[in-house]
Chain A
Amino acid sequence: MTDPAGRKPSTERGDASAASADGATRGLVHEEPLLFEQGARGRTGASLPPAPAGLDPAQEIPAALLRPSLEGLPELSELEVVRHFTRLSTWNHGIDTGFYPLGSCTMKYNPRSSEALARLPGFADLHPLAPPELAQGALELMHQLERALSEIAGFDATTLAPAAGAHGELCGLMIVRAWHASRGNPRKKILVPDTAHGTNPASSALNGYAVVQLASGPDGRLTPEAVRAAMDEDVAAIMITNPNTLGIFEGHVAEIAAIVHARGGLVYGDGANMNALLGVARPGDMGFDVMQYNLHKTFATPHGGGGPGSGPVAVKAALAPFLPLPVVVKEGATYRLVTDARERPQTIGRLREFWGNFGMFVRAWALLREYGPEGVRATGELAVLNANYLRARLRDTFHLPYEADSLHEVVFDDQRQQASGVSTMDVAKALIDHGFHPPTIYFPLVVHGALMIEPTETESKETLDGFVAAMREIAERARTDPEALRAAPLLPFRGRLDETRAARKPVLRWRPGMKVE
């Protein structure tokens, strides 16, 4: 149904005006309704050849299986679509916009060469089932990346298959389980420190393992005593993030690994914080048996508003037979994918469709090739330098719950601000008004009101100084004008959003006449 002017009637357009209840567009900040709330019947942004004549789908497909209508889909010109997403983009803070010190997420610059290279037709248009003779370049790239990742973390073999860090954890724990099962007993438990990412216990549970939480010691590190007390013949593995989520190196890691190994367990490394160790130390030299990477963190593939990630898993030689399929092999000068379990009888099997997030492999490999060994090491060193600089310049202003040395990130808390009723949440929101993305907040859970700051190596001293100035100013206002801080942020496109309402009355998609108030 259209009105005489060809526009959709207001019931179909929903309540676009609700989006601009406060007077709509101001200056260059544009209000923008949902795709489904705009456009006009008959408009399209598509340009396609005509369908072959005389071949009506109804001749082939039973009527009951044909869709009567695509009502509800938008009808927009190309310019309308361009404006829509361009306007949406202006409401976002990205690494390109400014400093993004989101702890444990390693928000470093995403190189544009990598983007251009992943889009070469030889990569972008390559079908995963192309015969190997048409895909030698892709296989060579995968093979080289596997070898480089094994070398950087000190392991013997690497699979590129997992789609993200948590998927890598799942993969690594499946390998752990398969290795134990091959020795007669898959075991029952995984030890997980209280500083671990939430994905660690969730990945353990998905693997059918019970989770035993380990308390970290008073200095923020795991103690050999705690591990010894929890370790028994039912424990399949311990999961250790090193440096941990406090940014502290687990100094007892070698002794802990020896305790776990002595009782027949394995040591799993969560490589989310690998940026701290690049070129300086290798998990494989510390007693780890298996570790997942996060290419979107350590090797700068774009985070994309929530992925895609890529979570390669590196293992010691004893675990290599259990790696998932496919495996890239080089035979003479030719590369080939092993996809048949008969060639790898101990494999844990397939973890995802096809061969992994290949587009991310291209980007990560491009970065590694530009860096070479010196650049990789400089990355780790400068990431740690930046974090320690922020720590040194902020520790007089914000409370540092753990004195132990920081590596790539530093965790403060809101203890000094609490007296004036200002919380970590208020500090985070106030940072937005200063043009910064807030740090990770309220994590790790062992720190009450945590502010977890990871600057990464691609940020300049001037940027860090600007952040320090903002943090100091916020701390000062927490003393002098706490009420104002609790109202922050005042400057972005939207003020604080009502998350409770979103969860109590879920509106999870557009429907005709949608109203949120």
Chain B
Amino acid sequence: MRYHPHTPEDVRAMLDAIGVKSVAELFRSIPEPLRLARPLDLPPALDEISLLAELRRLAGRNDTRHPPFAGAGAYPHHVPPVVDQLLLRGELFTAYTPYQPEISQGTLQAIFEWQTFVALLTALDVSNASMYDGATATAEAALMAARITGRHEIVVSEAVHPEYRRVLATYLRAKHDALVTVPFGADGRTDLAALERAVGAATACVIVGYPNFFGIVDALPEAAAIARRAGALTVSVTAEAVALGLLQAPGALGADVAVGTFQSFGNPLSFGGPAPGFFATRDAYVRQMPGRICGATVDTQGRRGFVLTLSTREQHIRREKATSNICTNSGLCALAATIHLALLGRSGLADLARLNHGRARLLRDAMRRAGCDTVFPGPIFNEQVFDVGDAEAVVARLARRGIVAGAPLARWYPDAPRAKGALLCVATELHDPELVELFARETRRAP
């Protein structure tokens, strides 16, 4: 067994040193009735050649020949090969949480750079080392807002990703905080009049998607103003972080907390996980943040270095009084995003964002020519909802061509306008004009 280095002679010598006769004797502290008296019922062992064949068989049963037109929280983007090659530096990917800073400066400096990227792109002061994903980051933001304000009502726009809202509901149920959902208007943006009515003295925070689930650039500044007047915090949620290369940063529009995922940078779709959740906020709230935080300091010789800091917020110190139970986060995914952002840089990110927006507008033009107009008139980034007549039928038909057509809105919004036909579609740098035309053509053949 290639991962077990023990020869029979090693085992013998080690047992002798321990002073026992057999390996079985090492387990004598487990009462006999609690021991397993039979082999585990698992599939038989495979050599590497057979292993590769078996998992290639499974991979081959997934059809990924075309980049998907579905986004809805997981975005198909180009990951430059250099990202993965750097990620596979064993010193980085086989290290753990940097508990010993002197021999973890690589991980720590990379976390510090991740935190800086998150802070720059959100225009907020501080970021943590990453969260599990966008949905749990949103839930943790709501819990933080409740701690800061001492209030227990969370107001969320119905145009926030429905899975994020379900996760939020799961987390709040345990804490007995109330969840109030505000509808969206005909333009696909949060209904501000309804928001105004919903927000009050009990509101801890207002949560708005940016862009929202429909791909619409939502009314974040107006929502933030409403929240501020009520003494509540504003949480912006961004699942498609490439948008932050084009859109004004949430912190500059009044968001007090910005959360979401940077999956779009450097992380493959991987059937929805893992991906790096992000969490940024203002300096004033840093001691209420969940998760690991890296900070700069000096060593005994005055040289700059980095450590995990402000750990008195955390579970290993504070136990049941911690700001969160999170321990392991998404370090490697955050590193992938950091590498990709370093490659893109100032001009590359701006170019990528404009390209995504442009491709989405090409898709809109092609779909309109195919007789499928958009459902919401609000401004979009790279994702939008089309009325394709019968969304589920289109998804099923395009699946036969190996195309993931999009996310039928009725699965989450059965009562939305034109719900039966509503299909949420993304276009990115992977969807070249030819593919966009093909997609529109295939969609048009709807009955």
CB distance from B242 to the nearest CB of A (A): 12
Contact between chains at A22 and B302 (CB < 8 Å): yes
CB distance from B130 to the nearest CB of A (A): 7
CB distance from A497 to the nearest CB of B (A): 5
Within the complex, which residue of A141, A163, A510 is in contact with B273, where a contact is CB–CB below 8 Å?
A163
Contact with B along A356-377 (1 / 0, CB 8 A): 1111101001101111111111
Query: In the assembled complex, which residues on chain A have CB atoms less than 8 Å from the CB atom of B246?
Result: 57, 61, 66-67
Let me know if A146 is at the binding interface, CB within 8 A. no
Interface stretch, picked from A202-210, A260-268, A313-321, A476-484, is: A202-210
CB distance from B385 to the nearest CB of A (A): 14
Evaluate whether A458 and B4 lie within 8 angstroms (CB atoms) in the complex, with A372-B44, A508-B294 already known: yes
Evaluate whether A208 and B42 lie within 8 angstroms (CB atoms) in the complex, with A45-B342, A497-B297 already known: no
Interface stretch, picked from B85-93, B148-156, B199-207, B228-236, is: B85-93
Contact between chains at B355 and A51 (CB < 8 Å): yes
Let me know if A353 is at the binding interface, CB within 8 A. yes
CB distance from B395 to the nearest CB of A (A): 6
Evaluate whether A497 and B34 lie within 8 angstroms (CB atoms) in the complex, with A129-B74, A202-B324 already known: no
Let me know if A400 is at the binding interface, CB within 8 A. no
Evaluate whether A308 and B332 lie within 8 angstroms (CB atoms) in the complex, with A35-B113, A61-B247, A163-B136 already known: yes
Cα–Cα, bound, A506→B271 (Å): 38
Of all chain B residues, which has the CB nearest A287? B34
Contact between chains at A369 and B55 (CB < 8 Å): yes
Contact between chains at A70 and B76 (CB < 8 Å): no
Q: Total contacts A to B, CB within 8 angstroms?
A: 717
Let me know if A254 is at the binding interface, CB within 8 A. yes
Evaluate whether A73 and B349 lie within 8 angstroms (CB atoms) in the complex, with A131-B399, A494-B105 already known: yes
Evaluate whether A66 and B29 lie within 8 angstroms (CB atoms) in the complex, with A306-B331, A354-B273 already known: no
CB distance from A79 to the nearest CB of B (A): 10
Of all chain B residues, which has the CB nearest A140? B58
Of all chain A residues, which has the CB nearest B245? A70
Report the count of interface residues on A (CB-CB < 8 A): 211
Query: In the assembled complex, which residues on chain A have CB atoms less than 8 Å from the CB atom of B433?
Result: 52
Contact between chains at B106 and A92 (CB < 8 Å): yes
Cα–Cα, bound, A96→B248 (Å): 42
CB distance from A2 to the nearest CB of B (A): 12
Let me know if A426 is at the binding interface, CB within 8 A. no
Contact between chains at B76 and A72 (CB < 8 Å): no
Evaluate whether A392 and B272 lie within 8 angstroms (CB atoms) in the complex, with A66-B248, A129-B404, A306-B329 already known: no
Within the complex, which residue of A197, A303, A404, A510 is in contact with B94, where a contact is CB–CB below 8 Å?
A303
Contact between chains at A353 and B134 (CB < 8 Å): yes
Cα–Cα, bound, A290→B170 (Å): 19
Let me know if B28 is at the binding interface, CB within 8 A. yes
Contact with B along A294-319 (1 / 0, CB 8 A): 00100010111111111000000000
Interface stretch, picked from B190-198, B308-316, B437-445, is: B308-316
Cα–Cα, bound, A353→B132 (Å): 10
Let me know if B344 is at the binding interface, CB within 8 A. yes
Query: In the assembled complex, which residues on chain B have CB atoms less than 8 Å from the CB atom of A151?
Result: 40-42
Query: In the assembled complex, which residues on chain A have CB atoms less than 8 Å from the CB atom of B44?
Result: 372-373
Contact between chains at A138 and B91 (CB < 8 Å): no
Query: In the assembled complex, which residues on chain B have CB atoms less than 8 Å from the CB atom of A199?
Result: 315-316, 325, 327
Contact with B along A45-76 (1 / 0, CB 8 A): 11111111001010011101111101111111
Let me know if A133 is at the binding interface, CB within 8 A. yes
Contact between chains at A70 and B349 (CB < 8 Å): yes
Of all chain A residues, which has the CB nearest B66? A125
Evaluate whether A95 and B328 lie within 8 angstroms (CB atoms) in the complex, with A48-B352, A74-B342, A118-B270 already known: no
Contact between chains at B358 and A34 (CB < 8 Å): no
Let me know if A240 is at the binding interface, CB within 8 A. no
Contact between chains at A349 and B342 (CB < 8 Å): no
CB distance from B234 to the nearest CB of A (A): 15
Contact between chains at A128 and B272 (CB < 8 Å): yes
Contact between chains at A460 and B76 (CB < 8 Å): no
Of all chain A residues, which has the CB nearest B302? A21
Query: In the assembled complex, which residues on chain A have CB atoms less than 8 Å from the CB atom of B132?
Result: 163-164, 167, 307-308, 352
Contact between chains at B64 and A121 (CB < 8 Å): yes
Of all chain A residues, which has the CB nearest B64? A125
Query: In the assembled complex, which residues on chain B have CB atoms less than 8 Å from the CB atom of A306?
Result: 96-98, 107, 111, 129-130, 292, 328-332
Query: In the assembled complex, which residues on chain B have CB atoms less than 8 Å from the CB atom of A382?
Result: 4, 6
Contact between chains at B174 and A392 (CB < 8 Å): no
Of all chain B residues, which has the CB nearest A102? B96
Let me know if B187 is at the binding interface, CB within 8 A. no
Contact between chains at B166 and A74 (CB < 8 Å): no
Contact between chains at A51 and B358 (CB < 8 Å): yes
Within the complex, which residue of A19, A90, A353, A506 is in contact with B303, where a contact is CB–CB below 8 Å?
A19
Contact between chains at B343 and A352 (CB < 8 Å): no
Contact between chains at A285 and B36 (CB < 8 Å): yes
Let me know if B286 is at the binding interface, CB within 8 A. yes
- Identify which of residues 434-462 in chain A touch chain B, using a CB-to-CB cut-off of 8 Å: 437-438, 440, 443, 457-461
Contact between chains at B175 and A208 (CB < 8 Å): yes
Let me know if A152 is at the binding interface, CB within 8 A. yes
Evaluate whether A502 and B94 lie within 8 angstroms (CB atoms) in the complex, with A151-B42, A253-B34, A369-B46 already known: no
Contact between chains at A137 and B347 (CB < 8 Å): no
Contact with B along A484-499 (1 / 0, CB 8 A): 0001010011111111
Contact with B along A15-37 (1 / 0, CB 8 A): 00011111000000000101110
CB distance from A371 to the nearest CB of B (A): 6
Let me know if B417 is at the binding interface, CB within 8 A. no
Let me know if B274 is at the binding interface, CB within 8 A. yes
Evaluate whether A21 and B404 lie within 8 angstroms (CB atoms) in the complex, with A280-B35, A366-B55, A369-B46 already known: no
Contact between chains at B361 and A52 (CB < 8 Å): yes
Contact with B along A390-404 (1 / 0, CB 8 A): 011100000000001
- Identify which of residues 76-113 in chain A touch chain B, using a CB-to-CB cut-off of 8 Å: 76, 78, 81-82, 84-86, 88-97, 100, 102, 105, 107-111, 113
Q: Return 15 A-B CB contacts under 8 Å, by A number.
A: A46-B80, A52-B433, A73-B117, A89-B91, A122-B58, A122-B61, A122-B63, A128-B273, A201-B315, A202-B325, A303-B97, A308-B331, A370-B51, A372-B45, A507-B297
